[in-house]
Amino acid sequence: MADTIESFAGQDILSVDQFNRAALNAVFGVAHEMRVLVERFGGAELLQGKILANLFYEPSTRTSSSFTAAMQRLGGQVIAINNVQYSSVSKGESLPDTVRTLECYADVIVIRHPEVGAAATAAYYADKPVINAGDGIGEHPTQALLDLFTVQEELQQIDGLTVVMVGDLRYGRTVHSLTKLLLNYEVSFVFVSPEILRLPADLIEAVEASGHSCRQVQDLNSVIGEADVLYMTRVQRERFTDLAEYDRVKDFFVVDKELMARARRKMIVMHPLPRVGEISYAMDDDPRAAYFRQMRNGMYIRMALLAALLGKA
Ligand code: ASP
Ligand code: CP
């Protein structure tokens, strides 16, 4: 396991399982420096001459554009394949051949794909570092890193917090990665979802086996007052085979002013975004609404990771 920033050079980032507390502290330290760098100078020339290939088989706004911005703010350049239907993928080219092509031109490959394990497959065939930007319902490790960095920056602590995760805990890959990452800390978990969207059993078992306090409930009202971190998620429509089932659960939870009147004064509301109704727009002015700041943190985390993987952190 890489646990100093130097030891990340040349590595892939496929799962949060690769990170322990030492590694997290190292990445967060560099991300913090990247924030200062961007705020003072807009960026640096650390990755001049380096090229990132952004390979997206699924839609993205934040992950794709924040990796692009991260690379460009560090002086590097980007090959964007955000629309695989216009690439040779639509002629039937395989994932292994696609990544072997891109690594002829780029120094690092970022991939998002609908299948669990696709990033690991890409990494198997590529010699250059591969970063998992979401593999189906599997993981979204860089999102979990930016989520945890946000908690640390906003609340100045992670140990001792109660984290309430809400919504699509079954298909939400950001929840899967963040839950695993939080096992490195002394937190209590409350998982709030409709019955059919509960956290997968293997993850519940991992949480319980690690000795963390954990409850699964269906009613957000009854637990909102406990939350230090309220982590909202979108119901992942694209993962449902039966859209009638999606319709039944899509509007289960809405964070609005009425609900937030029962929340602590010092707490944060997070969301990986995009939101499709789970958080009312009226909430955006509430100082506890951290989701826009969270999104900005994504660029700093990705700047830190790119610098680390390319041996320049
Ligand atoms: N953007 C996140 C993801 O790709 C969350 C979401 O789409 O709901 O996993
Ligand atoms: N949070 C996130 O992954 O957003 P995108 O799907 O827009 O990349």
Burial class (CB in 10 A: 0-12, 13-18, 19+), 297: buried
Q: What is the pLDDT of residues 72-84, one digit of tens each?
A: 999 999 999 988 8
Residue 264 and residue 308 in contact, taking contact as beta carbons nearer than 8 Å? no
- pLDDT tens, residue by residue, 158-200: 999 999 999 999 999 999 999 999 999 999 999 999 999 999 9
Asked if the model's pLDDT at residue 85 lies above 90, the reply is no
Ligand 1 contacts CB of residue 134 (under 6 A): yes
CA atoms of 233 and 168, how far apart (whole Å):
6
Mean pLDDT score, 117-141:
98
Least confident of 90-94, 260-264, 273-277, 279-283: 90-94
> In the predicted model, is pLDDT for residue 2 greater than 80?
no
Please say if the pLDDT value at position 212 is more than 80. yes
According to the model, what pLDDT value does residue 259 have?
98
Paired strand residues for 270: 231
Tokens 């200062």 map to which residue? Answer: 36
State whether the beta carbon of 173 lies less than 6 angstroms from ligand 1.
Answer: yes
pLDDT at 17 over 80: yes
Looking at residue 300, its amino acid is Y
C-alpha–C-alpha distance, residues 99 and 304, integer Å = 23
Tell me the one-letter amino acid at 128.
K
Nearest ligand by distance to the CA of 238: 1
Cβ atoms of 179 and 210 closer than 8 Å: no
| 174 touches ligand 1 (CB under 6 Å) | yes
Give the pLDDT confidence score for residue 156 in this predicted structure.
Answer: 97
pLDDT digit string, tens, across residues 97-110: 999 999 999 999 99
- Do 193 and 218 touch, CB atoms closer than 8 A? yes
Full-model pTM: 0.97
Substitution candidate for ligand 1 out of 57, 113, 137, 173 with most atoms within 8 A of CB:
173
Whether 176 lines ligand 1, by a CB cut-off of 6 Å, is: no
- Please tell me whether residue 13 adopts helix, strand or coil conformation: strand
Sheet holding 130-135, edge to edge: 77-81, 51-56, 108-113, 130-135
Q: Quote the pLDDT of residue 83.
A: 83
Place of tokens 């001792």: 160
The CB density around residue 276, as the number of other CB atoms within 10 Å, is 11
pLDDT tens digit sequence for 28-68: 999 999 999 999 999 999 999 999 999 999 999 999 999 99
DSSP 89-143: GGGT--HHHHHHHHHHH-SEEEEEESSTTHHHHHHHH-SS-EEEEEETTS--HHH
Q: Can you spell out the DSSP letters for 183-246?
A: TTS--EEEEE--GGGPPPHHHHHHHHHTT--EEEES-STTTGGG-SEEEE----GGG-S-HHHH
Measure 55 CA to ligand 1 centroid, in angstroms.
Answer: 16
Q: Would you say residue 1 has pLDDT above 90?
A: no
Q: By alpha-carbon position, which residue is closest to atom 4 of ligand 1?
A: 134
Query: Where in the chain do CATH 3.40.50.1370 domains reside?
Result: 6-139+296-309, 141-295
CATH dotted code for 6-139+296-309: 3.40.50.1370
The pLDDT tens digits of the residues spanning 213-270 come to: 999 999 999 999 999 999 999 999 999 999 999 999 999 999 999 999 999 999 999 9
pLDDT score for 3:
82
Residue that the structure tokens 């519940």 belong to? 204
Q: How far apart are CA 10 and CA 290, in angstroms?
A: 33
How deeply is 45 buried, as exposed, middle or buried, from its count of CB atoms within 10 A (0-12, 13-18, 19+)? exposed
Q: Which of 63, 64, 178, 293 to mutate to test the pocket of ligand 2 (most atoms within 8 A of CB)?
A: 63
Q: Which CATH class is domain 141-295?
A: alpha beta
